[in-house]
Amino acid sequence: MFTRFTLFVSIILFGVTSVSAQEGSSSPYSFLGIGTKAFRGTVENRSMGGLSTLGDSIHLNLRNPAAYSDLKLTTFTAGGTYNNVNLETESASSNLDYITLDYVAIGLPFNLLGVGFGVKPKSAVGYELEEVTTTRISRFDGRGGVNTVYFSVGFEPLRNLRLGATANYNFGDIENKALLIRDGVQFSSRETNFTDISGLSFDAGALYDLDITDKLTLKASGRYEAGSSLDVSRRRELATIQFGQNEAELVVEQFEAEIEDSQIELPEMYAFGLGIGQDRKWYAGLEYENYSAGDFSALAYNFGPEVVQNESNVFKFGGYFIPRYNDPVSYFKRIVYRAGMRYEETGLEYQGQDINEFGISFGLGLPAGRVFTNANIGVEYFERGTTDNGLIQENFISVFMSFSFNDKWFIKSKYN
């Protein structure tokens, strides 16, 4: 058991390194603030429109810590996504793709509670923009983001009522670069901002089941994320450059500008969900999330007066269906079929336009291997932004996959 635990901790540490090193976005809107939202739940959650109102004995719910109390087996899971995105303006379009590691996590059940820890991305920055006029070329690019290492605990103080809490350590670095090339001028100007972000945040959750009949159960959920301050350390490099072969940037003169440390404010969030279903058979539910307006004004280089951060609202609907979870003959009857949709008012307003999202998703839970080990796959199509007022609309097709490995640890056998 200790060997397996050591192995899983090593994988978590590897996940921290991998998540930190990846470029998890290709969105022009990731230029703003600390980037676009990078974590939307596990593959099981995302396949149901992001719904996070359920606990499970063999799956992790990384959005609601109360669900750890439902675990019956030690569960290790990791998930990743292939993203294909089409960027459109009123007059042009382009297409690109990229792959992300979305989370690495482990959940451990004990007699009275369940605990979990892991790593997941919080925000992602990745963009390349260019503006061309008759007299100059402006180029902007950025990469990085904020990641989270977390520890969660969930327990059941009363029958059918589960509570949980999570402590998060958020960390990351963002690099934003701007180039100005003027027609007829020998040297170009370059400004590079390096931003290091770190700090703690906390969230809590609750799940409650009410048996309506012998088969039907009403499920309610609640989540809360406290608004938190993250420390920001910045430095800025200003340089004059000229271009060499393959557009290599050759520094002619460079100096560093001193910038005082500051803080950004993460938004406060609360969420409520309600659904009905039959255990191990089917479920349909709704969830609503509300985020207050975060404060990223300390990042003045990419958060000017044309950017407004308003309150955000998210609406989700989804569910699952299992024909017969323990069918001894038919594999297809044991598959979990999932579907959902979501609409998100991101709260981001840029040049007078609201940047909103709408998505639909589908997924399968596939039994694999011994005990309750399973693979989960899903696909989501969603749109972000608009082509109005010279902005960009993003059309995503995301294919995501995870594996859940299950085993029995820390549980004493009742029979020899």
Instruction: Report the CATH number that the domain containing residue 354 is assigned in CATH.
Output: 2.40.160.60
**Alpha-carbon torsion (237, 29, 148, 104), positive or negative:** negative
What per-residue confidence (pLDDT) applies to 349? 86
Residue 333 lies in a domain: yes
Position 311 scores a pLDDT of: 94
Sequence-ordered list of residues with C-beta below 8 angstroms from that of 321, at least 6 positions apart, any chain: 281, 282, 336, 337
**What integer pLDDT is reported at residue 11 of this predicted model?**
52
323 in a domain, yes or no? yes
Q: Name the residue with tokens 């990469």.
A: 143
Are the CB atoms for 240 and 187 separated by under 8 Å? Answer: yes
Structure confidence at residue 416 (pLDDT): 46
Number of domains within the chain = 1
Q: Residue 39's pLDDT is what?
A: 92
DSSP element (H, E) containing 365: strand 353-367
307 within 8 A of 348, measured Cβ to Cβ: yes
The token pair that represents 272 in the structure block = 């409520």
**Using an 8 Å Cβ cutoff, are 283 and 275 in contact?**
yes
Model confidence pLDDT, tens digit, residues 279-325: 999 999 999 999 998 888 888 676 667 778 899 999 999 999 999 98
**Distance between CA atoms of residues 94 and 78, nearest Å:** 31
Pairwise CA distance, residues 316 & 46, whole Å: 10
| Pairwise CA distance, residues 407 & 416, whole Å | 18
Are the beta carbons of 4 and 407 closer than 8 angstroms?
Answer: yes
Question: What integer pLDDT is reported at residue 57 of this predicted model?
Answer: 87
Handedness of CA 257, 24, 296, 226 (dihedral sign): negative
Cα gap 204→66, rounded to integer Å: 8
- Dihedrals phi, psi of 17, to nearest 5 degrees: -65, -45
DSSP string, 279-332: TTTEEEEEEEEEEPPPB-TT-GGG--TTEEE--EEEEEEEEEE-S-TT-SS-SG
Nearest in space to 73 (alpha carbons), one of 370, 365, 318, 272: 370
Structural domain span for residue 140? 2-175+200-228+263-407
Residue 223 maps to a domain:
yes
What is residue 231's predicted lDDT score, i.e. its pLDDT?
A: 95
Q: Is residue 18 part of a domain?
A: yes
pLDDT attached to residue 415: 47
Residues of the chain with pLDDT under 50: 2, 8, 415-416
Q: Is residue 160 part of a domain?
A: yes
